[in-house]
Structure formats: structure tokens, C-alpha cells
Homo-oligomer: A and B are copies of this chain.
Amino acid sequence: MTISAKLDDLTIMVAGQGGDGSLTVMNVLSELFGRRGYHLYKSRNVASRIKGGIAAAQMRASVISRGCTGDQIDLVVAFDQEAVTNVGADLSPDAVVVFDSSDKPLDRRNLADSVRVIEIPFGRYAVRDLRRDLFKNSMSFGVISQLMNIDQDEAEDCLRHTLHRLPERVLLPNIDSFADGRKFALADKIASGGYPWHLERVTRAKHLMINGNDAIAFGFMAAGGRFFCGYPITPATEILEWLQKHLPAMGGVAMQAEDELAAINIALGAAMTGVRTMTATSSPGFSLMAEGISHSGSAEIPLVITNSQRAGPSTGMPTKPEQSDIAMMIHCGNGEFPRVVLAPGDPGDCFKIGAAATNLAQRIQGPVIIAVDQAVAQDARSVTPFDLEAVEPHDGARMSEDALQAMATYRRYELNPSGVSPWAVPGTKGGMSLVTGNERNEWGLVTTVPAKRREMMEKRAAKIDHVRADLPKGIRGGDRAARVGIIGCGMQSGVIAEASERLNARGTPVQYLQVRTLWPVLDETAEFIRSCDHVYVVEHNGEGQLAHLLDGHGAFGNLRSLTKNDGVPFRCADLVRHIATFEANTMHGDAA
């Protein structure tokens, strides 16, 4: 970090043992940077357990809006040695480490000499002066605020705002503790290094600070979603909780089922009545929903299923991101049926796609899957306010009683070129009908007559063409004339956009495509790939699932898979280095 250059883009980490409350320090920092007009990207790194295990919060504050965390960490607030040891390699050369030395002094063996360490026994002081270890958090904020040359009033106001839910008797000692922190910073020898940072004050239009799960739930509701049924699972639970909080007031229902099988089947039942319905889960739970998804496709029941993917296989790493369910989402569930799989890239996109999926499910009367990964689902970032006016619920082929009365004959599975049959929901006079997951005739009565079967398979398959033109298009960027392409989705979106910017800046022309519709594979994707000499497909899994998908559906042969499956997102710098090196070699004819 060169001080002048970096204050427009700073990455901070606060780390301690899970459950010790240290993460509130990050909340005050967000408040502070937010007020100063920075954009934020926040992520957490926790073990799948309640207490104990390293829990770290990371935040990138930048003047330009960014979709991923920074390459290196500039400031660390650490409440134990393990936190510093873990993060050592990821520090920028001139990083500052603020360390709680209550237990023992910092062992700085794995830190570069250029890293500056400020050691204060926060915990000890907090217990000594205020009788409670927890106050160490406010104290550490006091230190940092001094370090950043924030004046006391502004800093205290941020702290008060963040802690405004606390009762006065808890708030006050926190303020005291904060003030103590500032005093230590002033008095202590750390002052000798000066206060290195001067934060910018930027004007930024109003934004939202929100994570992907909440935004999906919101998009669903905005498109008329009024029924949700789910089962708690990391990292999807926020969707259940958000809708439990907001749907009842909108006259809707959001309920917790006894398991994922119940969740998707309760959802199917509700959806049959015409209410727009979603369920959400994460990878193992999605595995369990496969039979229900196939049923949604077969019985022609509109349903949105969100999969907030976590690292697999099986129970895997519940709190880590991965994009390793791509092939599963496209191929799971027995037999063949039409489905749409959409992949938003950030919370703003999550809102849009949450809404789009809800309408698309009505329009295809079948399953629409929203694929996010833990990073998109749980990382919060600043995005421009949602365009509420752009969302209007779409009724698909739903019929009113009047429309039904005008028909000579009503068959639930009427054949027609769009594949989407007019639909009268239960309760509609004269619309009595049969819904089934068996192969059937137009009335819904079971049949295996080959000719009928073929007609029904074709009818269902036709639905995709019916909506193809309205499937979410990808986002393209970079140098549109470049012969080298980058493709990614979800958590890669911010990384590939930034990597493209840097590559172009350093003379390696690239363009990128953030894919938003994974299935069906859109023509635009094939065209993008064909327009390039070769394309890097960046994804967080080991097998290169997205690359295989694109390859298998167009036989391109010019895809290069860049994968990673260790639970840690690609850093922009790594991607830039990898592609730049590879390209340099290619130009010299060393690689194919």
C-alpha cells in the first residue's frame, strides 16, 4: 500500500474467535466508510460452528464500486495470534496490524518487515477498567479511528449509530472504552509512527448495502411472490428469515418445513393454487429436492428454487463458496423436462433475477432455478437502488373464470405451439382438472400411448423456446475487439470485470462475458466464444463444470478452464497474472 495511492481502495480485516463479538468492529467501520462515501464489499469467513474457530470479517472500501474483495489486506484488527498467522501471506507490504496483546505479544514471524504492528492489550484493559472483555471491540475502534485521523465526534457518532440498539447501560461503557482506545493511541508509543491515513470524503449517490440472499427474496416478493417454504441451511437461511419477516405483512406465507422434501412439496402444493412460490436451500438440500424439481417440470407447476451453493461434496464446507452444483442444477431430477437456471452476479442482479425468475416460472409453468454461491449469497455490498418500477408480475397463461367460461373445452394439458397450456387454478368454477407427474393425455389422465407421449414431451420442451428471447442476457465488458475472452458467473463477476480492466490497462486486450442464464445456453454465449480466439472460463470448482457445459453445447474447443475449489475466491491479481502470463506465452508460441 502506498498511502496516497491506496486510500481510494482499502481492504480491512477484523478477526477473532467466533462468537467473541469482534465482528461488530467491522460494522462501525462500515458506518464510517459509508458516511465518507466509499463503496463497500463485505465478506465473512467463519467456521461452521457457533463459538470458537477463527471468525473474520473482511471489507473492501473503494471509491469506485467493486464486486470483490481486494487482492491484499491493508489493515488487520486481530484479537488473537491465529488470526494474524492465517492472514500473514495476504497482507500488503505496508499493511498495519492492530493486535490485541492481552495474552502475549505478537509473534510476527510470518510478517514482512515492512508491515507495521500496533500492539495493545485491549482485552486486558477492557476487563481491568470496565470489567468486561467485550468492550475491547469499541476500544480497538478507538485506536483505528485515531490511526485514520478521524476526529472524535465523527467516530463516536458512527459508534453510537452502530450500537443504537444497545441499552444505555451497555452503550455508555462502550463509548468510554472507545475513548480509552483513542487515548491509548495518542499516549502510547504507536503514536511515534504518526497516524498514517487520511480518508477521502467522496460524494456518492444513494446506494443500498445488501447481500444476495436478501436481494433474491426481495426480487421474488416484488414480482408478486407470496408463498415461501424452506428449511434452514447455511448459506441460504437468510432467504427464509427475510421472507418470514416481510411476507406476512404483504398477506403472504413464509414457513419453515420439517425438511427439504416437505419444503419443496409444500411449495408445489401452494404453487398449484396460483400463488407465486419459491423455495430456497443450499447444496445438500438441493440434492434432496431433485425429485420435486423433476415433478415441477413434469406436472407443470411453476416454482422458483434458489440454490445458495456451498462447498461440497456432501456436507462439505458449509460456510465456504463454491460453484460446484452447476452440472447438478442442470441435470438433476430424473428424466427430461424444461428448466431454466439463472445466475446473478451481485446483489443488484439478485434482485433483478429474483423477480425475473418469478415471472419466468409462471410463464413456463415449471421450475426456474436461481443459482448463487455463498459469496454472492452472503457477501454484502453497495449497489444502486433497485428499480422497483421495472418489475411487474406476469400471469403467464393463467385464466380468469370469465376466460374459462368462454372456452368450449378446458384441458389442463392442452396442446398448443407455445407448450404452455391455459390454466385455471383450483377454486375456479368449471375448471376442474387433473395434475399429475405421470405421462398423461390432455385431460391429465395417465397414458403410455407412444404418440401421446411424444406430443407431451414436445409440448413441454417447446416452453423454453417460448421464453428464450426473454431470458436474462449476460453482461459484456472489456475491449469488444479483443480476441481473448473471459467467461464467468456469480462470484466471478466482479473479479473478471476488474481483471479485464487491469489486463486491458497493461496491454493485454481482453473482453469478458458474465453469463446470467446458465441453462439453456444462450446463443449470445456461443457467439461470444466464437468471436474469440480463445476464452478463459473462470469458476470455483474443480472439474470446470461451466466450461464443460459450454463445450458440450457447441463443441468450441477453444475454452481454457481456470478452476479453484479451496473455498477461497479468486483474487483479481491472480487472475490477471495467470492470464497475462498465459497470453504472453501464447504469443511466443509456447502454449496451445
A334 to B281, CA, bound (A): 12
Chain B CB within 8 A of A575 CB: no
Are A333 and B337 within 8 A (Cβ)? no
Give the residues in chain B near A553, CB-CB below 8 Å: 548, 552
**Contact partner of A568 among B287, B437, B450, B543, CB < 8 A?**
B450
Question: Are A437 and B314 touching (Cβ within 8 A)?
Answer: yes
**A332–B332 touching, CB < 8 Å:** yes
* CB-CB under 8 A for A314 and B336, given A327-B331, A331-B328, A453-B566: no
- Give A314-373 interface residues, CB cut-off 8 Å to B: 314-320, 322, 324-325, 327-328, 330-337
Whether A312 lies near B335 (C-beta < 8 A) is yes
Is A9 located at the chain interface by the 8 A CB criterion?
Answer: no
**What's the Cα separation between A450 and B89 when bound, in Å?**
13
> Which of A113-121, A289-297, A498-506 binds B?
A289-297
In the complex, A557 has a CB within 8 A of chain B: yes
For the complex, give the distance between the alpha carbons of A450 and B543 in Å: 17
**26 A-B residue contacts at CB 8 Å?**
A48-B438, A283-B335, A287-B333, A290-B290, A295-B313, A298-B312, A298-B313, A298-B315, A299-B314, A313-B336, A315-B437, A316-B437, A316-B439, A317-B438, A319-B448, A320-B448, A322-B335, A324-B334, A325-B335, A327-B327, A331-B331, A336-B541, A548-B552, A551-B551, A552-B553, A557-B557
Interface string of A382-421 (1 = CB under 8 A from B): 0000000000000000000000000000000000000000
CB of A565 closer than 8 Å to a CB of B: yes
Contacts of A549 in B (CB 8 A): 552
Do B288 and A336 touch across chains, with their CB atoms under 8 A apart?
no
- Counting chain B CB atoms within 10 Å of each CB, which of A553, A555, A566 scores highest? A566
The 8 Å CB contact of A332, one of B314, B316, B331, B555, is B331
CB nearest to A291 among chain B residues: B287
Is A335 a contact partner of B320 (Cβ separation < 8 A)?
A: no
Question: Within the complex, what minimum Cβ distance (angstroms) separates A314 from chain B?
Answer: 3
A225 at interface, CB cutoff 8 A: no
CB distance from A308 to the nearest CB of B (A): 12
A454 at the binding interface (Cβ < 8 Å):
yes
Interface size on A, as a range, is 35 or more
A573 within 8 A of B: no
- Which A residues contact B (CB, under 8 angstroms)? 47-48, 261, 283-284, 286-288, 290-291, 294-295, 297-299, 309, 311-320, 322, 324-325, 327-328, 330-337, 436-439, 446, 448, 450-451, 453-454, 457, 461, 541-543, 548-549, 551-553, 555-557, 565-568
CA distance in complex: A265, B450 (Å): 37
Query: Which B residue sits closest to A286, measured CB to CB?
Result: B334
Decide if the interface of chain A is mainly helix, strand, loop or mixed: mixed
| Contact status A294-B312, CB under 8 Å | yes
Residues in chain B near residue A325, CB distance under 8 A? 334-335
By the criterion CB–CB under 8 Å, are B297 and A453 in contact?
Answer: no
With a CB–CB cut-off of 8 A, which chain B residues contact A457?
Answer: 542, 565-566
Most B CB within 10 A of own CB, among A333, A438, A542: A333
Q: CB < 8 Å: which of B320, B333, B446, B542 contacts A313?
A: B333
- Taken together as a complex, chains A and B put the C-alpha atoms of A317 and B446 apart, in Å, by 9
A297 to B, closest residue via Cβ: B313
- When distances are taken between beta carbons in the complex, the residues of chain B under 8 Å from A294 are 284, 287, 312-314
Residues in B neighbouring A284, C-beta threshold 8 A = 291, 294, 334
- Chain B residues in 8 Å Cβ range of A568: 450
A313 touches B332 (CB 8 A): no
Q: Are the CB atoms of A295 and B320 closer together than 8 Å? A: no
Report B-chain residues with C-beta under 8 Å of the C-beta of A448.
Answer: 47, 317, 319-320, 567
Q: How far is the CB of A542 from chain B (nearest CB, A)?
A: 5
Residues of B within 8 A of A288 (CB): 261, 288, 290-291
Given A336-B565, A551-B555, A552-B551, is A314 in contact with B297 using a C-beta cutoff of 8 Å? Answer: yes
Residues from chain B with Cβ under 8 Å of A565 in the complex = 336, 453-454, 457
| Distance between A371 CB and nearest chain B CB, rounded to angstroms | 12
List 6 extra interface pairs beyond A298-B315, A318-B438, CB under 8 A.
A288-B291, A290-B328, A315-B437, A328-B332, A448-B567, A548-B552
